[in-house]
Amino acid sequence: MEISQLAAIISRLDGMIKEQSDEVQSRRFEKDGRELGVISYDKETDTFILEELADKQKFEFDNIDLAAMEIYDLLND
């Protein structure tokens, strides 16, 4: 059985939350060598900001599950 793609995304986001640094954390998500999005986590505001690179749209989330689902959709469209 394959590892859940959604679980892997949540694990990466959780790592951003647990990072000890006060700097804004960011991670890139790609598929087939194409970078599709960049997500940032700001500890001060406790929010994730996802930038979809194809259309330069930005989405803000205060919930890790919603952020993970949006990334999952982005990677599987």
- Whether residue 23 has pLDDT greater than 90: no
Tens digits of residue pLDDT in 37-52: 999 999 999 999 999 9
Query: What residue ranges define each of the domains in the chain, with the CATH number in brackets?
Result: 5-75 (3.30.720.20)
Spacing of C-alpha 1 from chain mean position = 24
Tens digits of residue pLDDT in 2-17: 678 999 999 999 999 9
The CA R_g of the chain, rounded to the nearest whole Å, is: 12
Burial of 68 (0-12, 13-18, 19+ CB in 10 A): buried
Q: Of 40, 11, 4, 6, give the one whose Cα is nearest residue 23.
A: 40
Backbone angles phi, psi at 56, to 5 degrees: 60, 25
- Mean pLDDT value of segment 30-43: 95
pTM over 0.85? The answer is: yes
**Do 40 and 24 meet the contact criterion of CB atoms below 8 Å apart?**
yes
